[in-house]
Each structure stands twice: as structure tokens, then as C-alpha cells.
């Protein structure tokens, strides 16, 4: 009785009266030490009575009131405490973490039940169990129990419990009843159950049960096995799985036993875990990566020209940018871990270091990043490699049987295409041609094209890119055949392929200083040699004798031309500037080269009997006249390629829908385009008038926390605004072209709720 009483005082004091456990624990541990015992159950009546009296004093000291002895008063206080817990920090944080909105849940309930006691002797016990193993999904008795204890002892880890299998020897009859209870629960709920029980004087009581929380491995296995056992059908198996959880199976993850304290925290931009040396520039990251070293590319922010560093890095860490920043988008496309927007980290690329509070990370220091949580750790932590299990493959096959929407991938290389096929993609919905420009062997040619002063010079540079792009497209088409591949023509503004103005200014300053210093040293050495020639000493040669003055001047001149071009290309708002189809209209030779590369790759595949399925997509379209102009280029190029290869080409021509005006003119656009693809990243920015990186780093978290916006519109499709534009676009487009194929290739296409809406408005793929 005193054991139950002291437990009640402490639990009531903690839960209902908000008294910290430490105030009770210090008295409890003191009594145990004085009594010379380690386990709670070894305390006698005298000690338990003394503890109860001390606990009553704690309540009075902490609240200024005596412990309430009236049971109705206790009940009233307890009920109010449960209702009040809804607004507690832990509950609020939990709801925020799991996106539980007021519409989903706006309060809690209180259950009042009678008490049973597991601490009345050795014929009593308490335990917690799962009807199946929550870690592996194995169909087995899973759980722990304690003799002569209460449930809190198991849950709080106050005593080390025993595996439930040992109950078969200690309490064989009750173990048999527990097995029967477990089977009844699953047969009734048709779901894995997490249940708690108490045994009082040889009688088994089930205290509560709820659907068990399992990791992705366990959830996938139980889904398949429960179908095979006849407990659920295939549709139920698919619906019981949270799609977000499946990401655990696709990325390396940290060992769950990791207890390390994070050094910093950013945005969980691309899931998975990675560890390696801090490297502060893409060139060195590539060099070390090629040498077999594991590196983490650490930047203030990334640009397209850093892409080669991405390829050889284990993961990416940036101190600026949001979940849809360049680093985040590219990392996700590559399946690499990324933590973005870790603003507590001051990255100094010149000094090759990063400062986090008092901690300084130097280049070469080892860090671990967890893209699933946004945490950054010092040192190397153990990771677990992903396994694409047979169970998951089977589950995805079931999904394909009932799915209406097709799932396409973002991929720009044959390796990425192979990975997409492994993951069950039905095609490539977005192949970004600009990614192919950023490889080391292509970027200098692209720069040459940008620096060209006339069309003829640009065409010379583009003629060098043509065979490279044709080869790239052919490799991707071949890998994906017969699945469709949608190639988006060049989208970003040209200045993104050049260094920034500040970078070039610094480089020129350093080059000129170095040049002046070298010339001065060369003059000094020449004077010394002249003096030596007038003496008996033999003149000596200098490494500066071979310096090519013209070569140095040529490098400086090229940098100056590049700086001038960067200034010419400068735009106040590049997102709304000279990009996408506008580039193709003002520099038609660029799109002509890309279109020819796509069509020649298509022709070569067809000639070789490869069932190619290629599509050309135009970005940033505003008016049907833009589409007509580009379509004219396509038709002319198509005829030329058909004559050259002696074959009739088959491909499709479509447009991205990422500008509000394009939505409003979708009826006209559909007359030219055979398919639409919503670029919801840019469409969301245009609709909200938000810059996504500024919004995510400045005010969007506050908007989400205070309920001004329910979700981040760059992660979850804004159904009420952007979604209505999409719905209208689909309806109007199909009026002029019945059967118009429509998809989505923005970030939101991977969000379960957004996918549900896409299906609702009749999209064909995500």
C-alpha cells in the first residue's frame, strides 16, 4: 500500500502539479542508500512509509499547499492537468513536428479508469508489448515485463525489465493468456498493436492498446505478411504506410544508437546521413573525392558550377538557402544528404574554415550531417547503408497495380536514370540540360559561347557542345528505353555559368599584383646577372626568363572580358529576367543546338532499334507566340535531321507551366503543346510573390508557427491558391486539346497531400 501511495504522490506531483522529478528522486535515492538496497522492490514498509512522508513534504514545499487527500479533488486536478497538457510545449512541438493542424485536432480527451496493481507481490507484474517486432516486422511476441512492479517502472526504465519470452517459464498460464490477448488484438484491429498490461494476483488486465509505431522496415514487412495471413487486403496494406517513412529505406541513416550532441542545426534539405572531411571549394572536393576520400562540401551557398563537387561529395552543408535552394534541389536529385540554411555556421571560404560559436572547423576536420533532421555533428558517426528489400519491391508492385498517377523522376545522367529505374520510376519527367553544361569539360565551352561577341562566334562554341549533348541525351534515352524522357531546354540565365563580379574583381586584382611582383623580381635578377657578367662570376639563369608575357596578359584580358560580360548580364531580379524561352528567342542558336542534339540522339537510338521515347519541353513560357517561334525551330531541325538520318522522327513537344499568365492562356498554349508540366516551384513564387530562399530564411517560419500559413508552400502545394490555378489550367487546356497530358515537376510533387490533390484535378504524372 505504501509503495502504491509513494508512487501516486510522485506521479500526481509531476503530472498534475508540475513538480520536477528531481525533488522526489533525491529523497528516494537517499533512503535507498541508507537502507543499503539498490532495487526499489527491496525496500521495506518502514522505508516506503518514510518516503511517502518525505514526498508529501516535497509537494507542500513546491506548491505551498498540502497534498490533496480528497479523491474527488484529486480527480478534478488530474482532469484539468490533462486538458491543460494540450497547450504544453511538448504537445505544441509534437503537433508542429508532425503537421497536426487545428482542423485535424483541436483538443484532447480524458479517460477515467479504475486502477489495477502490479506491485502487490510476486504473483503480480506489469509489461508493455507489441504484437509484432516494431523494428523488423517479424511476427513474434515482442515486449518486456517486470514482476511486482507498476507500468511506469517499465516505461521510464526505472528497473531493467525482462524479455516477454521469460514469462513462459515464470508464469506459463499467464503467458498463454498474453499470447491469446495479442492474437485477439491483431484480429480485431487488423493492425500491429502497442499494448500495456498488468497482472494483479494472477489475473491479466489489458490497460490500453493503440496502433504501434514502427520504422519503415517493420512497416513494409508487416504489410506484406498481414496480407499473406488474410488479416488485410493489398489496398489496406498500401494505405497503412506513411510515404514519408519510406525515405528511411532509400538513404543512408545514422545508427539509431547514436548519442552525440549536435554541433549546429539547419534545415533538413535532403534526407540521409553522410560524414567526411570539411572541404570549402568544389574543385578540391572533386579532387579528394576522386582520390577515394570522403568529403562534405561546405559552402555559404552553392552555384551550378559547383556541381562537380557535388558528384564526389558524400553530402552538402550550406549556411544559407532553404529547402528548395540549389544545394537542396540538386542534392535530392542525386540522393545525397544535405543540410541547408544552417545560419549558426559562419563559413569563410577564403580562410577555409567555418565558425560555430566557439568551435572552429578547419578544412580537413571530420563532420557528420544528418539530412533527415538538419543536425550537424563533430566527428564521424556510424551510418547504416540503405537496402532496397524484396518486401519493398513487392509493395511497390502492388502500388503500380492500383495507381492511376504515374511517378516520374528528375534525372540528368545515365547513373541517375539507372537509379530511377531501380526505384520504380516510369520515366524521366525533368531532364535539366543546364546540368550537363556544368561538367568540367563543358563549362569552358559554355563560357566561350557566352563571351562571344556575335552569332557566328556563338555558333562555333555551340558546335563543340552539340556532340557532347547528343551523346548525353543518347545515353539517358538508352538507359530509360522504352520509358519517356522529358528534356527541358536551357532555363537559367547565362550569368549563372560565370563567376560573380566580386570573384572576378578579386582574381584580377591578385593577378595584376602577382604580375607586377614577378616583373619586378625578373628585373632585379636581370640586373644581378648583368653585374655578374661584368665580374669573374658565371651568369646564372632564372626561372623568370621563360615567363611568357603574352600568356599572362592574355589571362588578364580574358578575365577582364568576363568581368565586362558579367556586368552586361547583371539583372536586378534574375528569376523574372532573361532566362528560359526568352534566351531561346533572343539567342535562337542556343535552342537550335539543343533541339538538334535531342533529335539526333533520338534518330540514332531509332536507327539502332532502341525504343526511344523523347520529349522536348520549353521553360518559362508566357505566350503561345513564344511556343510557336520555338516550335518553328523544332520543325525545321526535325526535317533536317530526318533527311540526314533517313528516318521519320517520333517525339513530343510541350511546355512548362510556371508563370501565372501561362495558366490564364492555357487554352491557347494547348494548341501548340502536346503536354503541360507544372513547375510549381516558380509558379508558387509567382503566385505568392515570395522569393523562396528569402521567405524560408526570414518570415516563413513565423508565418507557419503563428498560423498565417498552414504549410510551407514550397514543400506542400498551396491547394487554395496555386492549386486552383492548376485546376483551371488543366480544364482549359483540355478544352482545346482533349487528352492533353499534364504533370508536375516541382518540389511539391513528392508530398503525399499534394499528390492527392494532383490526382483529384486529373494530372497524369508527378
Domain boundaries defined on the chain: 2-97, 125-239, 258-384, 407-493+573-657, 501-570, 678-766
Active-site pick, 23, 745, 751, 758 = 745
Q: Tell me: the pLDDT tens digits for 285-306? A: 989 998 999 999 999 887 766 7
Handedness of CA 654, 656, 657, 659 (dihedral sign): negative
* 181-214: pLDDT as tens digits: 999 999 999 999 989 999 999 999 999 999 988 7
% of the chain surpassing 90 pLDDT: 51
Q: Which long-range contacts (CB under 8 A, 24 or more apart) does 727-732 make?
A: 727/761, 728/663, 728/666, 729/657, 729/662, 729/663, 729/666, 729/676, 729/678, 730/666, 730/676, 730/761, 730/762, 730/763, 732/666, 732/667, 732/670
| pLDDT class of 157 with cuts at 50, 70, 90 | very low
Q: Is the dihedral of CA 304, 309, 312, 313 positive or negative?
A: negative
3-state secondary structure 67-82: CCCCHHHHHHHHHHHH
CATH fold for domain 2-97: Acyl-CoA Binding Protein (1.20.80)
pLDDT at 623 over 50: yes
Catalytic residue, candidates 326, 338, 605, 751: 326
Q: Is 124 a catalytic residue?
A: no
- What fold characterizes domain 407-493+573-657? TIM Barrel (3.20.20)
Q: Of 34, 50, 33, 3, nearest to 153 (Cα)?
A: 3
Q: Which residues, at least 6 apart from 704, have a Cβ–Cβ distance to it below 8 Å? A: 710, 711, 712
The grid coordinates of residue 225 equal: 505478411
Q: How confident is residue 142, by pLDDT bands cut at 50, 70 and 90? A: confident
User: Which of the 8 DSSP states describes residue 704?
Assistant: H
pLDDT digits 0-9 by tens, 538-574: 445 555 455 556 677 778 888 888 888 888 888 888 8
Report which DSSP code applies to 260. Answer: P
Q: Nearest Cα to 132, choosing from 192, 208, 201?
A: 192
Per the annotation, the verdict on 326 as an active-site residue is yes
- Cα(323)–Cα(325) distance, integer angstroms: 6
Q: Summarize pLDDT for 206-264 with one digit per residue, the tens.
A: 999 999 887 777 889 999 999 999 999 999 999 998 887 787 677 667 877 778 889 99
Banded pLDDT at 653 (limits 50, 70, 90): very high
What CATH number does the domain located at 125-239 have? 3.30.470.20
- % of the chain exceeding 70 in pLDDT: 91
For the entire predicted model, the pTM comes to 0.69
The reply to whether omega before 482 is within 30° of 0 (cis) is yes
Segment of 23-32, 316-325, 605-614 carrying the highest mean pLDDT? 605-614
**CATH domain 258-384 topology:** Glucose Oxidase; domain 1 (3.50.30)
Amino acid at each position: 500500500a505504501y509503495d502504491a501511495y509513494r508512487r501516486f504522490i510522485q506521479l500526481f506531483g509531476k503530472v498534475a502539479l508540475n513538480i520536477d522529478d528531481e525533488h522526489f528522486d533525491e529523497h528516494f535515492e537517499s533512503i535507498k542508500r541508507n537502507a543499503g538496497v539498490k532495487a526499489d522492490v527491496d525496500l521495506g514498509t518502514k522505508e516506503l512509509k518514510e518516503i511517502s512522508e518525505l514526498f508529501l513534504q516535497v509537494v507542500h514545499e513546491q506548491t505551498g499547499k498540502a497534498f490533496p487527500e480528497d479523491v474527488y479533488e484529486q480527480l478534478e486536478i488530474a482532469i484539468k492537468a490533462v486538458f491543460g497538457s494540450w497547450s504544453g510545449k511538448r504537445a505544441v512541438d509534437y503537433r508542429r513536428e508532425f503537421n497536426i493542424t487545428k482542423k485535424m485536432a483541436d483538443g484532447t480527451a480524458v479517460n477515467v479508469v479504475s486502477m489495477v496493481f502490479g506491485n502487490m507481490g510476486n504473483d503480480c507484474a506489469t509489461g508493455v508489448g507489441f504484437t509484432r517486432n516494431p523494428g523488423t516486422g517479424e511476427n513474434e511476441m515482442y515486449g518486456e515485463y517486470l514482476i511486482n512492479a507498476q507500468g511506469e517502472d517499465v516505461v521510464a526504465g526505472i528497473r531493467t525489465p525482462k524479455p516477454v519470452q521469460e514469462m513462459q517459464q515464470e508464469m506459463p498460464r499467464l503467458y498463454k493468456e498474453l499470447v491469446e490477448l495479442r492474437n485477439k488484438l491483431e484480429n480485431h484491429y487488423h493492425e500491429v498493436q502497442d499494448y500495456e498490461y498488468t497482472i494483479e494476483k494472477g489475473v491479466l488486465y489489458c490497460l490500453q492498446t493503440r496502433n504501434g509505431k514502427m520504422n519503415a522496415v517493420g512497416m513494409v514487412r508487416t504489410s506484406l505478411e498481414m496480407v499473406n495471413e488474410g488479416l488485410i487486403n493489398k489496398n489496406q496494406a498500401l494505405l497503412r504506410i506513411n510515404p514519408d517513412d519510406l525515405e528511411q529505406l532509400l538513404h543512408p541513416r545514422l545508427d539509431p544508437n547514436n548519442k552525440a550532441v549536435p554541433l549546429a542545426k539547419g534545415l533538413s534539405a535532403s534526407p540521409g546521413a553522410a560524414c567526411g572531411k570539411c572541404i570549402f571549394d568544389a574543385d578540391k572536393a572533386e579532387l579528394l573525392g576522386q582520390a577515394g576520400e570522403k568529403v562534405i562540401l561546405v559552402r555559404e551557398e552553392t552555384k551550378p558550377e559547383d556541381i562537380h563537387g557535388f558528384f564526389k561529395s558524400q553530402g552538402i552543408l550550406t549556411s544559407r538557402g532553404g529547402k528548395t535552394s540549389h544545394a537542396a534541389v540538386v542534392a535530392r536529385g542525386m540522393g545525397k544528404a544535405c543540410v541547408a540554411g544552417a545560419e549558426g555556421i559562419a563559413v569563410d571560404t577564403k580562410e577555409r574554415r567555418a565558425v560555430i560559436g566557439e568551435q572552429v572547423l578547419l578544412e580537413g576536420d571530420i563532420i557528420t550531417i544528418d539530412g533527415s533532421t538538419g543536425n550537424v555533428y563533430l566527428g564521424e558517426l556510424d551510418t547504416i547503408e540503405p537496402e532496397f528489400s524484396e518486401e519493398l519491391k513487392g509493395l511497390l508492385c502492388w502500388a503500380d497495380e492500383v495507381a492511376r498517377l504515374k511517378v516520374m523522376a528528375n534525372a540528368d545522367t545515365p547513373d541517375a536514370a539507372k537509379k530511377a529505374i531501380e526505384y520504380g520510376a516510369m520515366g524521366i519527367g525533368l531532364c535539366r540540360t543546364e546540368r550537363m553544361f556544368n561538367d568540367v569539360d563543358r563549362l569552358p565551352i559554355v563560357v566561350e559561347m557566352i563571351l562571344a561577341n556575335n552569332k557566328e562566334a556563338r555558333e562555333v562554341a555551340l558546335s563543340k557542345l552539340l556532340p557532347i549533348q547528343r551523346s548525353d541525351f543518347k545515353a539517358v534515352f538508352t538507359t530509360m528505353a522504352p520509358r519517356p524522357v522529358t528534356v527541358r531546354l536551357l532555363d537559367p540565365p547565362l550569368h549563372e555559368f560565370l563567376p560573380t563580379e566580386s570573384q572576378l574583381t578579386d582574381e584580377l586584382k591578385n593577378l595584376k599584383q602577382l604580375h607586377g611582383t614577378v616583373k619586378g623580381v625578373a628585373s632585379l635578377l636581370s640586373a644581378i646577372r648583368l653585374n655578374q657578367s661584368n665580374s669573374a662570376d658565371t651568369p646564372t639563369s632564372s626561372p623568370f626568363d621563360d615567363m611568357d608575357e603574352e600568356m599572362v596578359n592574355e589571362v588578364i584580358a580574358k578575365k577582364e572580358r568576363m568581368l565586362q560580360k558579367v556586368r552586361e548580364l547583371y539583372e536586378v531580379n534574375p528569376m523574372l529576367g532573361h532566362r528560359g524561352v526568352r534566351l531561346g528567342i533572343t539567342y535562337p542558336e542556343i535552342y537550335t543546338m539543343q533541339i538538334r542534339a535531342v533529335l539526333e540522339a533520338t534518330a540514332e537510338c531509332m536507327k539502332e532499334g532502341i525504343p526511344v521515347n523523347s520529349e522536348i519541353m520549353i521553360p518559362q513560357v508566357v505566350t503561345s507566340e513564344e511556343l510557336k517561334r520555338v516550335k518553328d525551330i523544332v520543325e525545321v531541325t526535325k526535317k533536317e535531321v530526318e533527311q540526314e538520318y533517313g528516318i521519320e522522327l517520333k517525339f513530343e513537344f510541350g511546355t512548362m507551366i510556371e508563370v501565372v499568365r501561362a495558366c490564364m492562356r492555357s487554352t491557347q498554349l494547348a494548341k501548340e503543346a502536346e503536354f503541360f508540366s507544372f513547375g510549381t516551384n516558380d509558379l508558387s513564387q509567382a503566385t505568392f510573390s515570395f522569393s523562396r530562399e528569402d521567405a524560408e530564411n526570414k518570415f516563413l517560419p513565423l508565418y507557419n508557427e503563428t498560423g498565417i500559413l498552414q504549410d510551407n508552400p514550397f514543400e506542400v502545394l498551396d491547394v487554395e491558391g496555386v492549386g486552383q490555378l492548376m485546376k483551371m489550367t488543366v480544364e482549359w487546356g483540355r478544352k482545346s486539346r482533349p487528352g492533353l497530358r499534364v504533370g508536375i515537376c516541382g518540389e511539391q510533387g513528392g508530398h503525399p497531400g499534394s499528390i492527392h490533390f494532383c490526382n483529384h484535378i486529373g494530372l497524369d504524372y508527378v
